[in-house]
């Protein structure tokens, strides 16, 4: 059972992403309230976003995306995330 989660969440870093395709930020676990929860996302700060099915960047992963209004096989499954 997950705690309730209301509306969108924004993960904020001290700077946006740079112009090279390397990893700028990462989060090994989305947290109990966001784990296996959301079905869409949008990247900000010039960041491309990758999601993983499991914590610590394990399992199925998505390609780099700016946003996705329907995460398909990753709907309500993402557990870790990185920004490029």
The answer to whether residue 36 forms part of the interface with Ca ion (CB under 5 A) is yes
Site string for Ca ion, 46-75 (x = CB under 5 A): -------x----------------------
CB of 11 to Ca ion, least distance (A): 17
Per DSSP, the residues of 31-83 read -TTTTTT-S-EE--TT--EEEEEEGGGEEEEPPPBSEES--GGGTTT--EEEE
Shortest CB 36 distance to Ca ion, Å = 5
- Cβ count near 17 (within 10 Å): 20
| Residue 50 or 77 having the CB closest to Ca ion | 77
């Amino acid at each position: 059972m997950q705690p309730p989660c209301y509306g969108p969440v924004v993960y904020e870093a001290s700077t946006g992403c740079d112009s090279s395709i390397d990893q700028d930020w990462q989060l090994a676990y989305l947290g109990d309230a966001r784990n296996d929860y959301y079905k869409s996302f949008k990247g900000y700060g010039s960041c491309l976003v990758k999601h993983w099915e499991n914590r610590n960047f394990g399992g199925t992963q998505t390609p780099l995306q700016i946003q996705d209004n329907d995460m398909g096989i990753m709907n309500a499954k993402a557990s870790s995330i990185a920004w490029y």
